[in-house]
Amino acid sequence: MAGRRDRFQQFSERGIVIAILVGIIIGCVCTILLPNDFFNSGSSKVGPGSGESPEQVKMLKSEFAIISEKNAELSKQVRELTEKVLLAEEGTVIKAGPFGTVTGLRTNPTVVPDESVNPRLAKLLEKVAVNKEIIVVLANSNVKPMLEVQIASVKRVGIQNYMVVPLDDSIEGFCKSNEVAYYKRDPDKAVDDVGKSGSGLAVSGLKFRVLREFLQLGYGVLLSDVDIVFLQNPFGHLYRDSDVESMSDGHDNNTAYGFNDVFDDPTMGQSRYVYTARIWVFNSGFFYLRPTLPSIELLDRVTDTLSKSGGWDQAVFNEHLFYPSHPGYTGLHASKRVMDIYEFMNSRFLFKTVRKNQELKKLKPVIVHVNYHRDKLIRMQAAVDFYVNGKQDALDSFSDGTIE
Ligand SMILES: *[C@@H]1O[C@H](CO)[C@@H](O)[C@H](O)[C@H]1NC(C)=O
C-alpha cells in the first residue's frame, strides 16, 4: 500500500512539475507569437473582412510559416524538458545512494486542510491552536474531579492550546465558568448516548471518531486522557517525525522501546531458542498524530473494528499499528515513535521504579499518566505535590499497585 502510495505521490509531483513547465512554455509561445494581441484581441489589426491586399496576404503567409516553425521548435523543447524532468525525478527518488546515506520516508505529507468538513471547529481551532497543534481531551461528568486537577496543571504550566470536548452539559458549563476552550460537538445520537453515560472504556473508543475532523482540518493533535497531569509543555518535547508518536506502557528501556524475547522449546534440541520481537503497547491515552493519511486511516480502522467487533480500544489501536500485512490482511503503513519514558511517564514506572531511585527522582517529567492505577485522583494530586509543590515524601505512602 505504502509503495503504491509513494508511487502515486511521485507521479503526482511529477505531474505538477510538468504542468508548471508546460504553463511557462505556453506563456512564452504566446508572448513570441502574439506580442501585442494576446490580451486585447478586440483591437486586432487584421480583423476578418478588412479587405487585405495581395501584398498583405503574402506577408501574412510568410509570417505564418515563421510562426509555425517556431511553434514546432517550442514543442520539441517541451518534449525534451519533460523527458529531463522525468529523468531527474527518477534519479532522486529511485536510485539508492552509497552505503549509509539511504533513509526511507518517515514523514508522510500532511493533508490539505479541508475547512468544509467542519467550519465551526475550524474557526475555533484558528483561535485556540498554536502552530497548528492542539491538545484534545474528552470528558464527561464521571471524571470531573480529575479534569479539574488536569486543568489546574495545564494552567500552571501556561499551555494555551488545550481544548476539552465535553460529552455532557455539566462539563460544558464547567469549561465555560473556568475559561477553558471547549468544543461541543453537534448532536449525534449514537455517539452522544455513549458519551453521556458511558463507562471509561466506551468513552475511550469515542475519541478515535472525534479526532478525525481535527486532522482533516490540518491540525496535529495531542490526545490526552483525563488521568494525566502536565508538568511541562509537551509541545517542546515532541519529535514530529512520525505519523504516530505515543507514550508507552513500558517500564524500562527494553519494554518501552523493544527487545528480543527468547522463547524456549527444549523439545527442538539444538534449535530450541526462538527469537521474538516484543514491545509493551503504545498507550492510547496519550499520543500525538500528525495530520497525515496514515493517521486518519488509523483512526478509521480503530473506529471500524470497535464498532464491528468491540474490544478494548487500546488493544485494537496497537493491533492496527503493529500487525504487518499477512494473508487476508493489509496492515497499516504508519510511521511510529515511542515517547521518552522518563519524560512521558506512566504510573507503573513512577511508583515501582522512579520514586525509589534517588537519581531518577531528580528528573522532572513532562507529564505523569496515572494509567496503571485505580486510585487515580489521589495519585495525580500526589504527583503534583511531589513535582510542583516540592513535597519530597508525597509519593511515599502509596503501594506499588492499586490494592483492591
Ligand atoms: C535508557 O535509554 C536512555 C536514552 O537512550 C539512556 O539515557 C538511559 O541510560 C537508558 N537507561 C538504561 C537503564 O539503560
How do the domains of the chain map onto residue ranges?
Answer: 8-89, 117-387
Mean pLDDT is highest, among 40-49, 73-82, 372-381, for: 372-381
CA of 386 from ligand 1 middle (Å) equals 23
Whether 35 shows a pLDDT value over 60: the answer reads no
- Band (pLDDT 50/70/90 cuts) for residue 27 is low
Cβ atoms of residues 19 and 102 within 8 Å: no
CA of 308 from ligand 1 middle (Å) equals 41
CA of 301 from ligand 1 middle (Å) equals 34
> Under CATH, domain 117-387 is a member of which superfamily?
Spore Coat Polysaccharide Biosynthesis Protein SpsA; Chain A (3.90.550.10)
| Pairing outcome for strands 273-278 and 259-264 | antiparallel
**Measured at the alpha carbon of residue 26, what is the angle toward residues 23 and 28, in degrees to the nearest 5?**
110
CA of 244 from ligand 1 middle (Å) equals 22
C-alpha distances in Å from residue 197, one per residue of 141, 142, 294:
9, 8, 31
- pLDDT per position as a tens digit, 240-256: 999 999 999 999 999 99
Whole-angstrom Cα distance, residue 238 to residue 286? 12
- pLDDT per position as a tens digit, 91-104: 555 789 899 998 88
Whole-angstrom Cα distance, residue 128 to residue 163? 8
Give strand pairing partners of 163.
136
Environment class of 248 (CB within 10 Å of its CB; exposed 0-12, middle 13-18, buried 19+): buried
- Band (pLDDT 50/70/90 cuts) for residue 68 is confident
CA of 340 from ligand 1 middle (Å) equals 10
CA of 254 from ligand 1 middle (Å) equals 9
CA of 251 from ligand 1 middle (Å) equals 12
Q: What is the mean pLDDT of the chain?
A: 87
Whole-angstrom Cα distance, residue 111 to residue 215? 8
CA of 241 from ligand 1 middle (Å) equals 21
Using a cut of 0.75, tell me whether the model's pTM lies above it: yes
Whether 142 shows a pLDDT value over 70: the answer reads yes
Whether 187 shows a pLDDT value over 90: the answer reads no
Sign of the dihedral defined by the CA atoms of residues 188, 190, 191, 192, in that order: positive
Cβ atoms of residues 137 and 162 within 8 Å: yes
CA of 253 from ligand 1 middle (Å) equals 6
CA of 72 from ligand 1 middle (Å) equals 66
Whole-angstrom Cα distance, residue 255 to residue 365? 19
Helices of type H across 34-53: none
Give the lowest-confidence range in 89-93, 285-289, 358-362, 393-397.
89-93
CA of 231 from ligand 1 middle (Å) equals 21
CA of 398 from ligand 1 middle (Å) equals 26
Helix, strand or coil for residue 238? Answer: coil
Whole-angstrom Cα distance, residue 373 to residue 219? 31
C-alpha distances in Å from residue 67, one per residue of 30, 31, 54, 288, 345:
11, 12, 20, 59, 73
Cβ atoms of residues 238 and 288 within 8 Å: yes
- pLDDT number for residue 1: 37
- pLDDT number for residue 217: 98
Whether 328 shows a pLDDT value over 50: the answer reads yes
Length of the chain: 404
Give the containing element (helix H, strand E) for 302: helix 293-309
CA of 168 from ligand 1 middle (Å) equals 43
% of the chain beyond a pLDDT of 90: 68
Whether 6 shows a pLDDT value over 60: the answer reads no
